[in-house]
Amino acid sequence: MTDQTQNEERAIRLASIVAIDIVGFSTMSERDQRNAARKVENLRARIVTVASANGGRLFNTAGDGFMLEFGSAGSALAAIQQILDKRGKGEPPIRVGAHVGDVVVTATEDLLGHGVNVAARLQEHAEPGTALVSAEFRSMARTSPQSAFQARGQKPLDNIAQRVQTFEILSKRQQFARASRRYGSMAAAGVAVIALAYFSPTIWQFAQPYIQQDTVADAAPPPAPTAADELYRQAGSAPEAPLYTPGEVIRDCEGCPEMVVLAGGLFTMGSPASEVGRGRDEGPQREVSLTPFAIGRFEVTFAQWDACLGAGGCNGYSPADGGWGRGDRPVTNVSWEDAQAYLDWLNSRVGGLRYRLATEAEWEYAARAGEGEAYAFGARVTATQATFRARRTTPAGAYEANAFGLFDMHGNVAEWVEDCYAPNYELAPVDGAAVQADECPRRVYRGGGFSDQAPFLRAAARRSLAPATRQQLIGFRVARTLD
């Protein structure tokens, strides 16, 4: 059989891949090579036993790591938690990465491909004693009875073009600690209520002489915040005070977009079957829980894009303005990939991965602004509230903001979001993370544009295009991570 025939017969399958790395292996070997080898052999034997008990197998090994395959994310999750929770005495520390993706099966039953690469790169970002997994893994494992995850944001992975939304698997000890804190707080609150009810007559009698004095003091204006207070607020060093306040407008640098802090929380995403103009891909409706985040007060303008261009960013691309003018009009003729180039430049200015596109869930939450109807303004939208059925864009912020203080969430230009397009919400993350896939032929855009009819402006309306597509109807706004 020729090599070409062998290659053609190699199977491709979907697999849950777990990558395990031994932390500090080189240092261990330098100090005592035989002892290090003994520890690694014992660790390997335990990992193989746990993997086999959960329907998995070891398919690759190196001096400082192991690669495992499982048939499902649920079984991989159970194995990861057993491996992390039952660390043997004297066992070297490990870190774990996991991903669900397509893999190529070689003639020796080794696995190759993007799914393996993502798991290995995620492991490199994990802290010792923890497991970092992709959004795909988390989505497929979230129905497991052992599932408990904490979002860790989007991370860049070496040799992989797109950032990956990541989650940390909480060990059983971490889950127990979280539950203990929650129930402990509830118990303490209950004790406090009982004690207050019992002692309230005595407390009231004792406090009466001071009430009048305190009332006068309360009438005085609060002291102005000091420079130290502001530094604490910015650095997060004062745990009793939140770093950001919902509704607060923040800006990280001169020329950076103005961002509005949103509180997040639970909201219902998608549209009911009775909503006029509803698309088949807007359901099923589901409850989504969002962590606090910030989103652009305005759509990104030509002036902001041109600043990026002038500083050598945005891949040197200057989008056409249609002859309508640039300045404070929203930038148009930019693809999803162009938007990523702007974000790369913006993040280079602030020194981190702070800025990104909003996820679909975040965008819809921001567009609804607490409203359960089709638009932030109610069941209808008018030409005095948004730019639509028009021949050109209007300057950003030409109409009244929604209840969250955001402008042009409906109309003017449609806006790219982070997600890969999926035809429904059946497998969409319930924590509002972006839908991602190894192959992503279409990205989602939201909000409707200047030439659209009203139904395309609805908060739940969604459309998609190839990520390299540039259209005069589409621009974007940025989102910002707060942690």
Q: How confident is the model at residue 369 (pLDDT cuts 50, 70, 90)?
A: very high
Q: What is the pLDDT of residues 242-301, one digit of tens each?
A: 478 999 999 999 889 999 999 999 999 999 999 999 999 999 999 999 999 999 999 999
Residues 90 and 159: beta-carbon distance below 8 Å:
no
CA 381, CA 117: separation in Å to the nearest integer? 47
Beta bridge partners of 70: 16
What pLDDT was estimated at residue 151?
Answer: 73
CA 288, CA 45: separation in Å to the nearest integer? 41
The answer on pLDDT for 119 being more than 50 is: yes
What pLDDT was estimated at residue 453?
Answer: 97
Q: Residue 279 has which token pair?
A: 């698309």
Work out the mean pLDDT of the chain and round it to a whole number: 84
CATH classification for the domain delimited by 245-483, as one of 3.90.1580.10, 3.40.50.720, 3.40.470.10, 1.20.1260.10: 3.90.1580.10
Q: How many CB atoms lie within 10 A of CB 145?
A: 8
CA 428, CA 424: separation in Å to the nearest integer? 8
Q: What is the pLDDT of residues 305-314, one digit of tens each?
A: 999 999 999 9
The answer on pLDDT for 217 being more than 50 is: no
CA 279, CA 118: separation in Å to the nearest integer? 34
Q: What is the pLDDT of residues 66-93, one digit of tens each?
A: 999 998 888 999 999 999 988 777 788 9
Beta bridge partners of 65: 21, 62
CA 418, CA 153: separation in Å to the nearest integer? 13
What pLDDT was estimated at residue 188?
Answer: 45
Domain 3-170 grouped into CATH 3.30.70.1230: yes
Q: What is the pLDDT of residues 12-42, one digit of tens each?
A: 888 899 999 998 888 878 888 888 888 889 9
CA 330, CA 318: separation in Å to the nearest integer? 14
Q: What angle do CA 58, 74, 77 make, to 5 degrees?
A: 60
The answer on pLDDT for 234 being more than 50 is: no
CA 183, CA 24: separation in Å to the nearest integer? 37
- Does pTM top 0.85 for this prediction? no
Q: What is the pLDDT of residues 437-463, one digit of tens each?
A: 889 999 999 999 999 999 999 999 999
Sequence spans of domains, the chain: 3-170, 245-483
Specify the DSSP class assigned to residue 452: S
